[in-house]
Each structure stands twice: as structure tokens, then as C-alpha cells.
């Protein structure tokens, strides 16, 4: 029988987007390349520009980085629904390992939201047919921390730098065109080849980890043992790695485990009340930096078992790297023993995480993916809807149970069958656009102001061209939809 860990392929991908807000922003450029497990290309790369709808406002900061002009995307791009249908087919290949650079923290969310907005299954591509996700950023962090030999790791201010561009430059790769999605995909593959060549055992361990039983074993709360966890929650000065002890399952989500950083001040966890821990733990990073209380933050973290976490046995920690990683093994074992002796600690930490999120429910359907799972009956209606589109049947209303899907379906008509829209539907959509472009938290007037401010800084010529293009686009939208600019 074939070993599933030796089957399949990698699907490397990258996105450039209108901004950083995963529920609100959209993909402007997508690129991908499938490779075999030896990292050799399979077929040609896939790359597309993508149109964005008029209710979405591109961020001037995001466009300054990607150098993507709104006019270019709107003139040369395909519709989002077309991209998502193609990707849905791409990712049906059995044993696809979906991978990018920080994709689990960013790009994967854009794929989920894109699938959802276009009435396609938002999660199926991540787990069906033996598929699973990996993230090269965390594999790079693991390599730098535990087996750094053979690779030049960039250092700035005595801290490692894990950006894709910095690692590529440090190892002699051409980074011209960085932040073009296809350039980033190719750099990703080159870095992966470097890790695989320099540390083949670690590479194999990391890419097989999600389908092994190691994650569940290392993070078992029934027999708690020390393991190493890679996460952005741990600072770059620590190489984003920490020895942790799994304490309790999340009170609401069975696929998440509460762990304690054994190099943190565990007294903050032991001596504070549940409310005091919540207050400091869930304070925003910005607030923490402003108030200089990072040291006051309890060393608690959540590990999501379904998000391909990178963990390793404590035995893989090299003695020669302890000082570099700021890990004191005596202190680690002392902390473990003390935590295991505390009665009721599991229940206490579960209470810390047993809270309602303070975020407001999304105001529009496009932003409401996580408001609830889609029912089986509605999923079947979505499938039938796309079958009818493929057969070029006339557009028809679908009686979804879920109001979100009814809203998405009606607005999808604008992009798939605009000629079949009634006058009332057109008027309704126009009002929807005006509402979105005048939102208090994100509106055209503020975006125009930010764009003007950036232009006043006299950025490089290529950025200036992009910002001027955005400026013209925003003025056109204001005129088109009769919007105030103050």
C-alpha cells in the first residue's frame, strides 16, 4: 500500500490584496505553481490579475507595496468568481499540500472568504481528498531555531529576520520584482529547496507533521509533556520558538489546546485571578506596546490542531543553541513541575478562554463567513447553482435558508448576469455600494485623504504612479456614486 505521506504534490501560492483585513479586502493578484515532492515543477505556473468590486476600497499602503494599479486590475483582471471556480478545480487534486509563505496567517483566509462569497465550499480544499495545509514561514523558523546550518539567516539588531525577501537576499537569490505574486511563489520554492537540501530530515519531518499523529501526541493534555512550539506569539529574538506545556483543551473548540510558555513568568498565570489574566492576555498588542506591559502579559497561547501547527519534541533542542534561543532547561523543567502540582489549573485556564468575543457581528454577508457553518441543504443548493451556471441556464432565484447566502447570491448576479438584473435590483445594489463607501470605519473620503498624504511624501516614481492611479480612481468613484469627499 502506498504511504499517503509520499503521495501527492505541493501547491505553492501567493496573493497580493487590496489590504490586510482578511474579511473585507480582496485578492488583486494570484499566482501558483504545483510541484512534486522533490520540488520540481508540474505544468506551467498559474497567475491572474483580479477585478475588485466598486464597494471595496484598496489601501494606498497595500498598493504602494504591490505596485498594482487599480486601473490595471480592472482592465486586465478576471472576476473573483472565475478565479475561485478555477482554484476550486485546481485544489481537487488528491493529496495536495497547500503551501505559501505565511499563508496560514494571511492568504488562506482570503481563499476561504473568496470561496464563501462566491457560493463555493470555503474549507473543502484544505482537507478533502487527503489535502492539507503547510506554511513555509513556520518551517523556516523551525529550521533557523533547531538546525540552522547550511543556510544564511539574516540578522538585524541581534534578531533573526524571517521575511521571505530577507532570507532570499541573504542566500543570493534574485529578489527583483519582490511582491509580485509569481515572483514570491518562485522565491518560496527556492527557499524550500534550500531547506530541503541543507536539512533533509527536518524538512521531511515538517512536511509530514500534519498527517502524522505527532501533533496530537505532543500536545496531549492527558499526559502533559514539554514540547517546542513555533509561533509568531514568541518574539523574533527567541527565534519564534518556545518550550510549552499543554494544560487544557479549549472550552469551546475541541481542536484547540491551551499551552503555557515555560520560559515566561508562570507566576502571572498562577497568582492572578481569571479576570486579571483575561484583562492582560486579551489586551491588544498595540495597547501593550503603548503601555510598556509586554512583560506583564501571561505566557499563555492557543494551538489550533487544524491549522498545521509546527511542534517538535524537546529532545530535538540542540545544546549548542540554548543561549541563542534564550532557553534555560533547568528553568523549563522547574516550571513544568510547578504547573503540574497546581490543582484546578486546567479549569482555571478554561475559564480564561470561556468568553464571548467582543467583536461586532459583521454588518454585511460578505464579511460573515465565521458567523456560522453553512447547512448541508444550502451547500447542495450552492452546488446546484454552479451546475446551472456551467450549463448556461438563465439566472434564477435560490431559496437559501441562510440569509447570508441570499445576499451573496443577489450581489453575485451583478458580476455573472448583470443583463438579467431588474431596475429595482440595480438601484438596490447602487445603494449598497454607497453605504459601503461611506462606512464610518472605512470610507472613500478617508482613503482619498491617506492617498494624498502619501503622495506628499514624494515616494519613488513607481509608487507615485500607483498612488496617482488610485487617486484618480477614488475621484471617479466619488463622482459616479455622488459621494461627499469631506
Average pLDDT over residues 108-131: 97
pLDDT at residue 289, rounded to an integer: 46
Average pLDDT over residues 270-275: 95
CB 138 within 8 A of CB 101: no
pLDDT at residue 111, rounded to an integer: 98
Given pLDDT bands bounded at 50, 70 and 90, which one contains residue 360? Answer: low
Give the model confidence (pLDDT) of 290-340 as tens digits. 444 556 889 999 999 989 999 999 999 999 999 999 999 999 999 999 999
pTM of the model: 0.94
Q: What is the CATH number of domain 214-355?
A: 3.30.1520.20
- Res 284 pLDDT > 90: no
- How high does pLDDT run on average in the chain? 94
Q: H helices of 345-460, where? A: 345-353, 376-390, 403-416, 423-437, 444-456
pLDDT at residue 3, rounded to an integer: 53
Domains in the chain: boundaries: 1-212, 214-355, 365-480
Collect all residues with Cβ–Cβ distance below 8 Å to 268 and sequence separation of at least 6.
277, 280, 296, 297, 298, 299
How far, in Å, are 9, 203, 305 from residue 131 at the CA level? Answer: 10, 18, 15
pLDDT at residue 408, rounded to an integer: 98
Pairwise CA distance, residues 444 & 428, whole Å: 19
Average pLDDT over residues 130-142: 97
1-212: which CATH topology?
Nucleotidyltransferase; domain 5 (3.30.420)
Amino acid at each position: 500500500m502506498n504511504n499517503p505521506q509520499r503521495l501527492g504534490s505541493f501547491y505553492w501560492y501567493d496573493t497580493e490584496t487590496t489590504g490586510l483585513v482578511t474579511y473585507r479586502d480582496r485578492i488583486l493578484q494570484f499566482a501558483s505553481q504545483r510541484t512534486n515532492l522533490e520540488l520540481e515543477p508540474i505544468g506551467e505556473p498559474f497567475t491572474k490579475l483580479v477585478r475588485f468590486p466598486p464597494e471595496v476600497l484598496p489601501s494606498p499602503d497595500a498598493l504602494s507595496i504591490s505596485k498594482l494599479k487599480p486601473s490595471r486590475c480592472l482592465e486586465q483582471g478576471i472576476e473573483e468568481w472565475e478565479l475561485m471556480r478555477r482554484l476550486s478545480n485546481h485544489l481537487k487534486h488528491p493529496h495536495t499540500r497547500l503551501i505559501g509563505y505565511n499563508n496560514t496567517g494571511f492568504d488562506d483566509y482570503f481563499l476561504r472568504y473568496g470561496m464563501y462569497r462566491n457560493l463555493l465550499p470555503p474549507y473543502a480544499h484544505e482537507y478533502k481528498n487527503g489535502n492539507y495545509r503547510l506554511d513555509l514561514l513556520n518551517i523556516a523558523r523551525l529550521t533557523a531555531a533547531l538546525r540552522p546550518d547550511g543556510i544564511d539567516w539574516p540578522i538585524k539588531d541581534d534578531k533573526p529576520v524571517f521575511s521571505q525577501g530577507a532570507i532570499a537576499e541573504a542566500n543570493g537569490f534574485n529578489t527583483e520584482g519582490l511582491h509580485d505574486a509569481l515572483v514570491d511563489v518562485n522565491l518560496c520554492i527556492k527557499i524550500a529547496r534550500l531547506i530541503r537540501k541543507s536539512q533533509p530530515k527536518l524538512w521531511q519531518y515538517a512536511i509530514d507533521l500534519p498527517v502524522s499523529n505527532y501533533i496530537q501526541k505532543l500536545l496531549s493534555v492527558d499526559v502533559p509533556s514539554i514540547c517546542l512550539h513555533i509561533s509568531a506569539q514568541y518574539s523574533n529574538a527567541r527565534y519564534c520558538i518556545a518550550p510549552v506545556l499543554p494544560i487544557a483543551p479549549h472550552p469551546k473548540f475541541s481542536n484547540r489546546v491551551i499551552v503555557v510558555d515555560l520560559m515566561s513568568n508562570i507566576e502571572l498565570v498562577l497568582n492572578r485571578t481569571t479576570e486579571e489574566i483575561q484583562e492582560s492576555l486579551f489586551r491588544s498588542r498595540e495597547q501593550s506596546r503603548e503601555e510598556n506591559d509586554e512583560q506583564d502579559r501571561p505566557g499563555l497561547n492557543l494551538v489550533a490542531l487544524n491549522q498545521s501547527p509546527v511542534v517538535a519534541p524537546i529532545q530535538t533542542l540542540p545544546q549548542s543553541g540554548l543561549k541563542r534561543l534564550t532557553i534555560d532547561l533547568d528553568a523549563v523543567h522547574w516550571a513544568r513541575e510547578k504547573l503540574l502540582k497546581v490543582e484546578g489549573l486546567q479549569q482555571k485556564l478554561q475559564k480564561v478562554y470561556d468568553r464571548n468575543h467582543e467583536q461586532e457581528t459583521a454588518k454585511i454577508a460578505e464579511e460573515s463567513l465565521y458567523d456560522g457553518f453553512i447547512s448541508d441543504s444550502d451547500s447542495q443548493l450552492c452546488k446546484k447553482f454552479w451546475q446551472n451556471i456551467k450549463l448556461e441556464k438563465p439566472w434564477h432565484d435560490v431559496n437559501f435558508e441562510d440569509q447570508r447566502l441570499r445576499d451573496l447570491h443577489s450581489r453575485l448576479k451583478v458580476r455573472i448576469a448583470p443583463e438579467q438584473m431588474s431596475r429595482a435590483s440595480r438601484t438596490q445594489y447602487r445603494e449598497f455600494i454607497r453605504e459601503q463607501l461611506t462606512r464610518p470605519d472605512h470610507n472613500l473620503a478617508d482613503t482619498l485623504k491617506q492617498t494624498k498624504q502619501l503622495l506628499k511624501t514624494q515616494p519613488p516614481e513607481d509608487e507615485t504612479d500607483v498612488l496617482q492611479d488610485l487617486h484618480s480612481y477614488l475621484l471617479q468613484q466619488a463622482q459616479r456614486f455622488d459621494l461627499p469627499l469631506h
